[in-house]
């Protein structure tokens, strides 16, 4: 599978500046600013309710930012629709797996492709006859080591494979920026290790990856740079080692009264 053509050439890939989002007076995001640099895997961590998924939803247009701006490839996308943003080259996975359970893995990927998005009925009814599209979809499945399960129904896949299929569906949109929302959630140690290898391979095909994850072993293995959120605010940024040992990050996860030993258990040896 070749890297898509026409990729953004400006740096950074994305710029989030002063973004805020409020629901009924509650700040889901408050003055969040950062960049996503070319070629990097940017990790985002934080306790439950920190605003991580709200951030992805706002970048992808599922939510509309109340304040601030979002730029992608040098273009302001703050007010674009979710579909408009997707067509520009931003794709995501979800915390909760979203697959067509009665379709095969191959069909799931093909229905996520750009060709299907442009002409869904034609793509759907000719799905078994379009050799080039089938081969392309198999390439996306191969990228997450699922090519040998192309004919299996999504409902027959293991939990780990279903999560990887969702990543393959995101790849089928030919993104420049891939946002992964807790891709290792619910995986066992073996599945998480395989996922790390998959994502590491993907970085050569995509301008940048943003990874939201609770599994710190996955974060340490993949993230070049790390951001930490708490209560909608950005509280730390830097190398994974520095952020995971930051006092405000440890406090956000464990609370002020937890002892240092518990803090060390969170950050581990970095």
Question: Which residues constitute the domain of residue 220?
Answer: 8-30+37-89+175-270
Domains: count for the chain:
2
Gap between the Cα atoms of 74 and 146, Å rounded:
35
Gap between the Cα atoms of 55 and 231, Å rounded:
12
Q: Is 94 part of any domain?
A: no
Gap between the Cα atoms of 119 and 113, Å rounded:
10
Residues 65 and 155 in one domain: no
Residue 4: band (very low, low, confident or very high) from pLDDT cuts 50, 70, 90: very low
What average pLDDT does range 7-32 have in this prediction?
A: 88
Q: Which two tokens stand for residue 181?
A: 């929302």
What are the backbone dihedrals phi and psi of residue 103, each rounded to the nearest 5 degrees, phi first? -95, 155
pLDDT digits (tens, 9 = 90+) for 193-206: 999 999 999 988 89
What average pLDDT does range 251-261 have in this prediction?
A: 62
Q: Is 170 part of any domain?
A: yes
Q: Quick one: pLDDT at residue 8?
A: 46
Residues 269 and 164 in one domain: no
Gap between the Cα atoms of 34 and 235, Å rounded:
12
CATH code, domain with 251: 3.40.50.300
Strand partners, 42: 210, 225
Q: Which two tokens stand for residue 144?
A: 């997450």
Q: State the DSSP code for 153.
A: B
pLDDT at 86 over 60: yes
Contacts of 244 (CB under 8 A, 6+ apart): 45, 216, 219, 220, 226, 266, 267, 268, 270
Contacts of 37 (CB under 8 A, 6+ apart): 11, 12, 13, 208, 225
pLDDT at 39 over 80: yes
Q: Is 48 part of any domain?
A: yes
More confident residue, 29 or 9: 29
pLDDT at 270 over 80: no
The answer to whether 15 touches 183, Cβ cutoff 8 Å, is no
What average pLDDT does range 207-216 have in this prediction?
A: 95
Q: Which two tokens stand for residue 140?
A: 């996306």
Residues 73 and 202 in one domain: yes
Contacts of 165 (CB under 8 A, 6+ apart): 99, 105, 108, 109, 141, 144, 146, 154, 157
Contacts of 74 (CB under 8 A, 6+ apart): 8, 10
Q: Which two tokens stand for residue 166?
A: 């969702």
Q: Quick one: pLDDT at residue 199?
A: 95
Q: Quick one: pLDDT at residue 147?
A: 94
pLDDT at 181 over 70: yes
Residues 79 and 107 in one domain: no
Residues 63 and 125 in one domain: no
pTM of the model: 0.85
Q: Quick one: pLDDT at residue 268?
A: 46
Residues 161 and 185 in one domain: no
Q: Which two tokens stand for residue 246?
A: 């930051």
Residue 210: band (very low, low, confident or very high) from pLDDT cuts 50, 70, 90: very high
* Average pLDDT of the chain to the nearest whole number: 86
The answer to whether 145 touches 164, Cβ cutoff 8 Å, is yes
What average pLDDT does range 55-69 have in this prediction?
A: 97
Report the run of H or E that residue 34 belongs to, with start and end: strand 26-36
Query: In this prediction, what percent of the chain has a pLDDT beyond 70?
Result: 84
Residues 20 and 77 in one domain: yes
Q: Which two tokens stand for residue 68?
A: 């601030």
Residues 160 and 192 in one domain: no
Q: Quick one: pLDDT at residue 118?
A: 52
The residue among 40, 22, 21, 12 whose CA lies nearest residue 211 is 40
């Amino acid at each position: 599978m070749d890297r898509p053509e026409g990729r953004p050439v400006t740096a950074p890939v994305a710029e989030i500046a002063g973004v805020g989002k409020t629901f009924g007076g509650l700040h889901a995001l408050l003055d969040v600013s950062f960049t996503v640099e070319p070629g990097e895997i940017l990790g985002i961590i934080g306790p439950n309710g920190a605003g991580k998924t709200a951030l992805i939803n706002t970048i992808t247009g599922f939510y509309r930012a109340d304040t601030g701006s979002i730029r992608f490839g040098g273009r302001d996308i703050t007010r674009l629709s979710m579909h408009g943003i997707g067509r520009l080259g931003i794709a995501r996975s979800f915390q909760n797996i979203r697959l067509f359970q009665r379709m095969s893995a191959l069909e799931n990927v093909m229905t996520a492709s750009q060709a299907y998005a442009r002409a869904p009925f034609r793509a759907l009814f000719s799905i078994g006859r379009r050799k080039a599209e089938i081969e392309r979809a198999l390439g996306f499945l191969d990228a997450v080591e699922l090519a040998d399960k192309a004919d299996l129904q999504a409902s027959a896949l293991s939990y780990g494979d279903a999560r990887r299929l969702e990543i393959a569906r995101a790849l089928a949109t030919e993104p420049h920026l891939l946002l992964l929302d807790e891709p290792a959630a619910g995986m066992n140690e073996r599945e998480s290790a395989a996922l790390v290898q998959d994502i590491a391979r993907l970085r050569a095909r995509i301008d940048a990856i943003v990874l939201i994850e609770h599994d710190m072993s996955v974060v340490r293995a993949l993230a070049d740079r790390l951001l930490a959120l708490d209560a909608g605010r950005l509280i730390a940024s830097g190398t994974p080692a520095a952020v995971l040992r930051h006092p405000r990050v440890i406090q956000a996860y464990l609370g002020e009264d937890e002892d240092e030993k518990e803090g060390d258990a969170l950050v581990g040896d970095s």
